[in-house]
Chains A and B, each alone.
Chain A
Amino acid sequence: MITSANNMNKTIIFILSIALLLSCSQNEVLGPSIFDTEDRLDANSVSYEFDSWLREAYLKPYNLDFRYRMEDVGSDMDYNLVPTSFEKSQQMAKLVKYLWFDVYGTIVSSEFLKENGPRIIHLIGSPAYNPISGTMLLGTAEGGLKVTLYRCNELDFTDIDMLNEYYFKTMHHEFAHILHQKRNYPVEFGLISQGKYNPLGWQYKTDSEAATLGFVSPYAGSQNREDFVEIIANYLVKSDAQWNNILNLASNPGVDYDGVTLPDDGIDGKAIILQKLDIARNWLKDSWDIDLEALRTEIIQRQLNINDAFN
Chain B
Amino acid sequence: MRKLNKITYFVFTLISLILASCNTEEPDIFDTSPAERINQAISDYQSVLTSAENGWEMDYFANPLSGGYTLLIKFNKSGNAIFASRHEYTVNKAYETDSCLFDIISDNGPVLTFNTYSNILHIFASPDFIDDPYYYGYGLEGDYEFVITKATTDSVWLKGKKYGSDVLLHKLESAVNWQSYMNNRYDFNSMIFSAKAPDLSLKIDRVTYKFAYGYSHVFNVKRGSDTSLDIPFITTDNGIKLYKDIELEGYTFREFKINNAKNALVSVENPQLKLVGADDLSNYFISKTKAIWTFNTNNTSSNINQLLQDVAQSSIALYAADSVAVTIEYSTSRQSFVLAITTFKGDIKTEGLINLSFDAYGYDEIKISYKDNQGNVKGNSQGLQYYNDIPELANFLELLSTTYDLYTVSKLNPFYIQFYKKGDAQTYFEIK
A residues neighboring B (CB under 8 Å): 8, 12, 15-16, 19-20, 23-24, 26, 31, 34, 42, 44-47, 68-73, 75, 77, 79-86, 88-89, 125-131, 153
Q: Contact between B18 and A19 (Cβ–Cβ < 8 Å)?
A: yes
Q: Contact between A131 and B101 (Cβ–Cβ < 8 Å)?
A: no
Complexed CA–CA distance, A20 and B126 (Å): 61
Which B59-90 residues have a C-beta within 8 angstroms of A? 76-80
Complexed CA–CA distance, A86 and B113 (Å): 14
Q: Contact between B18 and A80 (Cβ–Cβ < 8 Å)?
A: no
- With contacts A24-B21, A83-B122, A85-B117 known, is A72 near B137, CB below 8 A? no
Which of B17, B101, B103, B137 meets A20, CB within 8 Å? B17
Which of A8, A73, A80, A126 meets B107, CB within 8 Å? A73
Q: Contact between B24 and A24 (Cβ–Cβ < 8 Å)?
A: yes
In the assembled complex, which residues on chain B have CB atoms less than 8 Å from the CB atom of A84? 116-117
Complexed CA–CA distance, A79 and B136 (Å): 12
B12 within 8 A of A: no
Q: Contact between B18 and A23 (Cβ–Cβ < 8 Å)?
A: yes
- With contacts A45-B79, A89-B116 known, is A80 near B127, CB below 8 A? yes
Chain B residue at minimum C-beta to C-beta distance from A123 = B116
Which of A8, A23, A70 meets B116, CB within 8 Å? A70
In the assembled complex, which residues on chain B have CB atoms less than 8 Å from the CB atom of A89? 116
Chain B residue at minimum C-beta to C-beta distance from A71 = B115
Cβ of A78 to closest chain B Cβ, rounded Å: 11
Which of A19, A44, A77, A86 meets B78, CB within 8 Å? A44
Complexed CA–CA distance, A131 and B141 (Å): 14
Q: Contact between B103 and A69 (Cβ–Cβ < 8 Å)?
A: yes
In the assembled complex, which residues on chain B have CB atoms less than 8 Å from the CB atom of A79? 127
B14 within 8 A of A: yes
Dominant secondary structure at the A interface = loop
Among the interface residues A16, A45, A88, A153, which one has the most CB atoms of the partner chain B within 10 A?
Answer: A45
Cβ of A21 to closest chain B Cβ, rounded Å: 10
- With contacts A126-B128, A127-B128 known, is A82 near B144, CB below 8 A? yes
Q: Contact between A31 and B122 (Cβ–Cβ < 8 Å)?
A: no
B243 within 8 A of A: no
7 residue pairs bridging A and B, Cβ less than 8 Å apart? A26-B22, A44-B78, A46-B101, A69-B115, A81-B127, A82-B125, A129-B136
B161 within 8 A of A: yes
Which of B17, B80, B117, B137 meets A83, CB within 8 Å? B117
B residues neighboring A (CB under 8 Å): 6, 10, 13-14, 17-18, 21-22, 24-25, 33, 35-36, 39, 76-80, 100-101, 103, 107, 113-118, 122, 125-128, 136-139, 141, 144-145, 161-162
Q: Contact between B161 and A72 (Cβ–Cβ < 8 Å)?
A: yes
- With contacts A31-B33, A127-B127 known, is A83 near B39, CB below 8 A? no
Q: Contact between B137 and A131 (Cβ–Cβ < 8 Å)?
A: yes
Q: Contact between A82 and B78 (Cβ–Cβ < 8 Å)?
A: no
Complexed CA–CA distance, A70 and B14 (Å): 58
Complexed CA–CA distance, A84 and B117 (Å): 5
In the assembled complex, which residues on chain B have CB atoms less than 8 Å from the CB atom of A47? 79, 101
Dominant secondary structure at the B interface = loop
In the assembled complex, which residues on chain B have CB atoms less than 8 Å from the CB atom of A85? 100, 116-118
In the assembled complex, which residues on chain A have CB atoms less than 8 Å from the CB atom of B127? 79-82, 126-129
In the assembled complex, which residues on chain B have CB atoms less than 8 Å from the CB atom of A153? 117
Question: Told that A23-B21, A46-B80, A84-B117 touch, could you supply 17 new A-B pairs with CB distance under 8 A?
Answer: A19-B18, A23-B18, A24-B21, A46-B78, A70-B115, A71-B115, A72-B113, A80-B125, A80-B127, A80-B139, A83-B122, A84-B116, A86-B116, A86-B117, A125-B122, A129-B136, A130-B137
In the assembled complex, which residues on chain B have CB atoms less than 8 Å from the CB atom of A131? 136-138
Cβ of A274 to closest chain B Cβ, rounded Å: 38
Complexed CA–CA distance, A221 and B258 (Å): 63
- With contacts A69-B103, A82-B117 known, is A46 near B17, CB below 8 A? no
Q: Contact between A23 and B79 (Cβ–Cβ < 8 Å)?
A: no
Q: Contact between B77 and A44 (Cβ–Cβ < 8 Å)?
A: yes
In the assembled complex, which residues on chain A have CB atoms less than 8 Å from the CB atom of B101? 46-47, 69, 86
Q: Contact between B33 and A34 (Cβ–Cβ < 8 Å)?
A: yes
Q: Contact between B115 and A23 (Cβ–Cβ < 8 Å)?
A: no
Cβ of A154 to closest chain B Cβ, rounded Å: 10
Complexed CA–CA distance, A108 and B234 (Å): 58
Chain A residue at minimum C-beta to C-beta distance from B7 = A8
In the assembled complex, which residues on chain B have CB atoms less than 8 Å from the CB atom of A127? 127-128
